[in-house]
Structures are given as structure tokens and as C-alpha cells.
Structure 1
Amino acid sequence: MSECVAFARRPLDFAPMTKIREAVEADTPVIYEMIKELALYEKEPDSVTSTEEDVRTHLFGENPSVFALVADNDGVLEGMALWFLSYSTWEGRHGIWLEDLYVREEHRGKGLGTALLQELARIAVDNDYRRVEWTVLKWNTPSIGFYEAMGAGDMGEWSTMRLDGDALRVLGSTRD
């Protein structure tokens, strides 16, 4: 049995009252709190420039472009996964880009991260999406080990590139 299959078959050790479900609009304030907590964990607390209203609009507005799963223990949100659709021209299929996976510190080690990723994988499989992708900070070895234990792999030769801030504005304003 492969390591990732063995990992997937391990029983999850989270409270029986915790359910993985789609986020609803009333979850927005706590989702936003968790976004800020994740930024603090990633040593970038001042990088969060979004507002709670931004999150609400993009998750629950007229044309949502971002989706969220939450780990809900009888009304207490213990973790979340925020994601959106990507697309592979090579495969001609959508994928999922996992923007944030976060479990609150006091709830870590109970299988919630695994349960959130399992539900995301189920969504991908059920919709014939071909992949779930994300980035992880190189120093975040606990998360890297967690992802590798589930069968995820480093993209090796591929680097994530970003165009933002002044560079984005300059490039966007030079178009004829």
C-alpha cells in the first residue's frame, strides 16, 4: 500500500461534533479573523490589506469567485480552506488553487487539516478537476511534512512568480 493511501485510511482524530462544510455568509467575520491569524503565523501580519467586506463580497457576492470550507464544531469554527478555480491548458480541465489552509492553533493535531484537504480533494474528483495546488513557505517545514505525507509533491523546476504593486501598475498602464 502506498504511503499516501495508508495516510488517507488513517482514522481522523477530531471531535465527533466537528463537521467540514461549505462556508456561509455568517461565517465571514471568523474567516477574516483566521486570515489574519494565518498571516501572523506566516510572519506577515501587516500584509493583510483585505477587509472583512472584501472577503464577504468575494465569497458570497452576486458572482462568487472564491470558495471556502470550514471545520465547524457546534458553531465554533476551528479551521478553514479558501480556494478558487484554476485551469490547465495542457489538460483542458479546471483545478483547485488552495489559497489558505488554516487550523487554529488550539485545534491542530486533531486531523482537521487532513479533513479539510480530503473534502477539497473530493470536490476536485467529483467535478473532474485534475489537481489541487498551493504554495507553502520554504521555512514552514511542519506544513511541508504534512503535505508530503498526503502524497503532495514539490513542483521542483517550477517557481511561483508574482506581479503586483508598482510593477503591476506600471505594466498595466503601458498598454497602447
Structure 2
Amino acid sequence: MHADGGDHRRIRRAGPADVPALLALGAEHAVFERLSHAADAGALASALQGDPPRVYAWLALVGETAVGYASATLDFSTLDCACYLYMDCLFVREGWRGHAMGRALWAQVRALAIQVGCRSIQWQTPWWNLDAARFYRRLGAREMAKLRYNLPLHDA
């Protein structure tokens, strides 16, 4: 499917029924970012439920085809003594980048942060993803010089 103006485009909140689409997009996102990917459909479905859910997610759709997604969680900064929204993922499939899908997903993430009273939105992107860095700078974001660590915890 190619990006053209004749398609019906929309962004909508994702729920447990959208887990297959989110997992497919997540797998593509992991390949793009050169990451390993272990998916647990049940855990994702569970996290999308609740009031509030553990994770908020949105799908970018063209017709009924998912071409991108964003996800975020609420967190709290002890340094700022304030709530912030952590945007875990924002990904748009190749062929749909540059067609305002990322900006539309971002708008939903930002609207939620404002709605729930967050002081800021935080996220990360690989250092080599210059297109993403340029996109985020155009949104008015500032880069933070930090290292990110990951310590896998496995069942004993």
C-alpha cells in the first residue's frame, strides 16, 4: 500500500482487540531499531485495560490498515516532584513516513499528557536515528545527555 491522499487516515486509541496490529508494528519497530523482540500478547492486552490502563496506545490507520503506533505510560519524577508521560514508542511504517502520521500520533500523546496534568513528556530514540531526532526537534523538544541502561530480569 502506498501513501497517497485518497486513503481515509485516522488515529484512534488502541485496546486489547488491537494487540495483533500492535505486535506486528512492534516487531517491525524492533527490526528498524536493531533490537531483539519478545512479544507477550496476553501481557500487552492486560496492560491496555483498566482505568487507568498501565499503557496507553494509539494506532495510525489508513482505511483499516495499521501503519503506525505510539504508546506511553504515566510516571513520576522525584526530581521535578511532578507526573510526566513517558512515550515508549512512536513508529510509522516505511512508505508512510513524511505523510503526517507521526505528527498525528504525537498530537494524541501530547493531548493525553495535558489531559492528565503531566508537566512534561519524555522519550528516547537511538542516537543514529537522525530523521527521528530532526522530527522531535521540530516539535520543540530538547535533547538530554543521559545513558539508558537495561537489566533483564529472568525468573529463577
Change in CA separation of 1:65 and 1:14 when aligned onto 2, cut-off 3 Å: farther
Report how many aligned residue pairs link the two structures: 152
In the TM superposition, 1:1-176 aligns within 5 A as: 17-44=8-35, 47-60=36-49, 64-156=53-145, 159-165=146-152
| Structure 1 unmatched ranges of 5 or more | 1-12
TM-score with structure 2 length normalisation? 0.85
**Structure 1 SS opposite 2:39:** coil
Question: Percent of counterpart pairs with the same letter?
Answer: 28
**Structure 2 vs 1, CA of residues 124 and 62 (structure 1 numbering), >3 Å: closer, same or farther?**
closer
Q: Distance in 2 between matches of 1:139 and 1:162?
A: 17
**Shift of residue 16, structure 1, vs aligned partner:** 6.6
- The answer (yes or no) to whether the contact 1:15–1:73 under 8 Å persists in 2 is no
Distance 1:50 1:84 in 2: 18
CA distance in 1, matches of 2:95, 2:82: 37
- Asked whether the equivalents of residues 14 and 110 of structure 1 are also in contact (C-alpha less than 8 Å), the reply is no
Q: TM-score, normalised by structure 1?
A: 0.76
How big is each residue's C-alpha offset from its partner over 1:26-47, in whole Å with a ceiling of 9 and x where there is no partner? 2110100111100000112xx1
Query: CA distance change for structure 1 residues 108 and 64 in 2, over 3 Å: closer, same or farther?
Result: same
